[in-house]
């Protein structure tokens, strides 16, 4: 079974490779997805990492609060998305 991990308060300069390297010592990383702004394409400062369940739990325990480029990361199990927000034009 796999778990998806929320990774928040990321430095805007972080790449998917940077995040993969951070999580890799705790187990195999299946995927990394950094979220960008739909309009500008700029990073939003958070993303998701998918790992095997036991590795995910170990990574959360080890990395929550870890400082990366001067920012304390917020790491926890990602919540299931309950619905989509509809963007309405002004």
Question: pLDDT at position 62, please?
Answer: 97
For position 57, which CATH number holds?
3.30.70.330
Q: The domain containing residue 22 runs over which residues?
A: 2-77
Reading the block at residue 27, the tokens are 């187990």
pLDDT at 85: 64
* Mean pLDDT computed over 85-90: 60
The arithmetic mean of pLDDT across residues 1-30, rounded, is 96
Number of domains in the chain: 1
Alpha carbons 86 and 75: distance in angstroms, whole number: 27
| Mean pLDDT, residues 1-28 taken together | 96
Kindly indicate the confidence band of residue 84, based on its pLDDT and cuts at 50, 70 and 90. low
Question: How would you write the chain as a 3-class SS string?
Answer: CEEEEEEECCCCCCCHHHHHHHHHHHCCEEEEEEEECCCCCCEEEEEEEEEEHHHHHHHHHHHCCCEECCEECEEEECCCCCCCCCCCCC
In the predicted structure, residue 26 carries a pLDDT above the cut 90: yes
Instruction: Answer yes or no: is 88 within a domain.
Output: no
pLDDT score, position 81: 73
């Amino acid at each position: 079974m796999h778990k998806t991990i929320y990774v928040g308060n990321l430095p805007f300069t972080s790449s998917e490779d940077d995040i993969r390297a951070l999580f890799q010592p705790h187990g195999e990383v299946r995927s990394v997805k950094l979220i960008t702004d739909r309009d500008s394409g700029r990073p939003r400062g958070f993303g998701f990492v998918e790992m095997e369940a036991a590795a995910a739990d170990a990574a959360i325990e080890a990395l929550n609060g870890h400082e990366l480029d001067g920012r304390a990361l917020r790491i926890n199990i990602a919540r299931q998305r309950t619905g989509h927000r509809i963007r309405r034009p002004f």
